[in-house]
Amino acid sequence: MARSALLNVMVQAAMKAGRGLSRDFGEVQNLQVSVKGPGDFVSQADHRAEEVLRTELQRARPKYGFLLEESGAIAGEDDQHRWIVDPLDGTTNFLHGIPHFAISIALERQGQIVAGVVFNPVSDELYTAEKGGGAYLNDRRLRVAGRRKLTDCVIGCGLPHLGRGDHGRFLVQLRHVMSEAIGVRRSGAASLDLAYVAAGRFDGFWEDGLSPWDMAAGMLLIREAGGFATDASGGADILGRGDIVAGNEVVQKALLAAIKRPLSGTD
């Protein structure tokens, strides 16, 4: 596959940061860990990976701004472009020795996501997409799964945990999805879960309480793989609201209807 110069910059930055994460993953017991909030960890690995990504991306496009998980928003001279970066999505998995985590990088141009990279350095799976150019896993073109009934589908999700989210509302949503889908999975790294939808591994996905860096690259992957993604109201403000519902056209609509259904007396 042919990549643009910008996407090559993103890929090279992700792979360089990924080498550091792979090394740290092998020495995870020696990492210093702090707690940002209940159930929300940050490690030396997050900070080191973010520093590598910022340095590499800034070297290639010094005027672009950033939205970084650990450092926040950094304005650039070019106010039409910014990088949206999660240096380690799935920190809890990482710190528990679970090899399901990723680097996520998206490029936003004039408010639109135009390129995205999601990279799991342990599995060496590199997901890439450019607006209008399709989505790829390594060099293989991706398409979302073609199943059309929730009863045939495996659905990914995030779930609230200690100190995060509306547990009661999620349990209602989960009850409705469980009653229709053949399986529900919670993997702990939203960017990878969205990439799995693009790859046809998950038929759909939903989660709320997310940040732009969790979703920006994965959202583009799904759309470029022929899928659909909306916010939980069915609108387009995914990054602003912090929630996402995704799948192919039919499954996305069915999943959205399931999670919006109120609890009835018969449930």
Task: Cite the annotated binding site by residue number.
Answer: 69, 86, 88-89, 214
CA distance 199 to 143: 6
Smallest CA-to-CA distance from 80 within 104, 57, 109, 54 is with: 109
Q: What are the strands, taking DSSP E only, across 62-214?
A: 64-68, 72-74, 78-89, 102-109, 112-120, 125-130, 134-137, 140-141, 154-157, 183-185, 204-207
Rounded Cα distance, 166 and 157, in Å: 14
CB 195 within 8 A of CB 127: yes
- Residues of each annotated binding site for Mg(2+): 69, 86, 88-89, 214
Which residues sit opposite 116 in a β-bridge? 106, 129
- Name the strand (E) or helix (H) holding 173: helix 167-178
Contact 202, 196 (CB under 8 A): yes
